[in-house]
Amino acid sequence: MAEPTVGVLAVQGDVREHLGALEAVGARAIRVRRPTEVEAIDALVIPGGESTVIDKLVRMFGLHEPLRARLAGGMPAYGSCAGMIMLADRVEDGRPDQQTLGGLDITVRRNAFGRQVDSFEDDLHIRELGPQPLRAVFIRAPWVEVVGPEVQVLARVETGPAAGRIVAVRQGTLLATSFHPEVTGDHRVHRYFVEMVGPARPD
């Protein structure tokens, strides 16, 4: 099977880091900034950044409806940090005019862990990624407050005052994490996502 083409939404955020991680695990990674590029990809990564800015730029560039249509049609997608917010059906503490692409039956709380100075790291044990813990970096991160019945919880914070909070979920072909795996050099999350893409690609 040919390598999947995974687009990285390139309007704001850690675009370059995600491109590098995807290529390291065998995907063909391209930037997505125009509506015509949405049809050229097998899957999408929405990077971290500022969710309200990403939302505004997605609408400004005419990407909102094409992306919603592809997601509704079953295109796999992975969102990290702000990307998790963009994939969520419901957002707490968002701006009144904030929109998401949706698809994940979750409620997320924006900036749940606090401001930039409250950024932290934690070791997470994620069964789907193997026995070794994953070092997770949280930067002004959201957490998941409510999950729907079809949502699989992959990881929770394991230490500190936020222990037990949900920080990684999967629903079908959609994956989201509160943390930033693209900045650590550990590509297991990206490999897991690319493996998800394979079965979902049309013949």
As annotated, the active-site residues are 81, 180, 182
Helices marked H in 3-153: 15-24, 35-38, 51-60, 64-72, 82-87
DSSP 46: E
What's the burial of 116, exposed, middle or buried (CB within 10 Å: 0-12/13-18/19+)?
exposed
- As a whole number of angstroms, the distance between CA 67 and CA 46 comes to 11
Give yes or no for a contact between 8 and 45, defined as CB atoms under 8 angstroms apart. Answer: yes
Give yes or no for a contact between 85 and 108, defined as CB atoms under 8 angstroms apart. Answer: yes
- As a whole number of angstroms, the distance between CA 8 and CA 196 comes to 16
